Amino acid sequence: MSNEPRIYYLWLEGEYDSQVSEHPGDSPDRKYAKAYEAAKQRDCPCSITDDTGLADDQSGVLIAIVHPDGEVTDGTGLHLFHIGERIEAYRKSRVKVAVVCRNAEGAVDFHTCTPEVTEAERQEGKHYELACENAEENGYEGPFLPFDAEDPAVKALAAVATWFETP
C-alpha cells in the first residue's frame, strides 16, 4: 500500500472548486464533508472525482455527487444512503442564541444571533462560543452570558419581565 495521498477533486456546476487529499488511514468521510459544505454554500450539487485517467481538462472518474440537502448519489442517480448517513454528522443547522452583555454605552443588553453548528458542536457548547464572538464583533462587551431556547433562563424571561412591571 502506498503512503502517497489520494487526491479528490470537487466540482460545482461543472467548474473546478477545490481538492481534498486523503492519506492512508484518513477517514473517507472528509471528502464527502467538504463536498457537502461546498454544495450547501453554493446551493448546487458538488461532484467528487478522483485522478484516475485525469488528462488536461478532464475531471477524472466520478466518485459521487453530494447534494445541498446532504443526499449522496452516484453518476446514475442511485442514492448512496450509507455515505449520506455518515455525513449527517457534518450537517449544520442554525441555533438561536441570546447573549446578555454590555452595549457600547455600558448598559446591560441582549445580543441575538443564530450561529451555524453541527449537532455535536451544539452538544459541546460551540454555539455559545460563536454567539459570544459575534456579540464582540458587533461592538458588545463582556462579561458574556449566552443562552439558547433549551436553557432554563428562557422560561424565566417572561416571569422576570412581569415581575419588573409589577409594583
Q: Where are the alpha helices (DSSP H) in the chain?
A: 29-42, 81-87, 119-123, 126-137, 152-165
CA distance 113 to 93: 13
> In terms of domains, do 138 and 83 share one?
no
Residues 43, 73: Cα–Cα separation, whole Å: 16
* pLDDT tens-digit map of 126-143: 999 999 999 999 999 999
Contact 49, 65 (CB under 8 A): no
Q: Is residue 14 part of a domain?
A: yes
Cα R_g (the chain), whole angstroms: 22
pLDDT at 57 over 60: no
Q: For residue 1, tell me if it sits in a domain.
A: no
Residue 158 confidence (pLDDT) above 90: no
pLDDT in tens, 63-93: 888 888 878 888 777 877 777 676 666 677 8
Residue where a domain stops, chosen among 90, 121, 149: 90
Give me the domain span that covers residue 31. Answer: 6-90
Tally of structural domains, the chain: 2
Question: Strand order of the sheet with strand 108-113?
Answer: 108-113, 97-102, 141-148
pLDDT value at position 141?
Answer: 97
Q: Residue 100 pLDDT more than 60?
A: yes
Question: Quick one: pLDDT at residue 10?
Answer: 85
Instruction: Kindly report the average pLDDT of the chain as a whole number.
Output: 84
pLDDT of residue 6: 79
φ and ψ of 101, to 5 deg: -160, -165
More confident residue, 145 or 167: 145
Which of 90, 107, 137 lies at the terminal end of a domain, its last residue?
90
Is the domain of 79 the same as that of 99? no
Of 157 and 87, the one with more pLDDT: 157
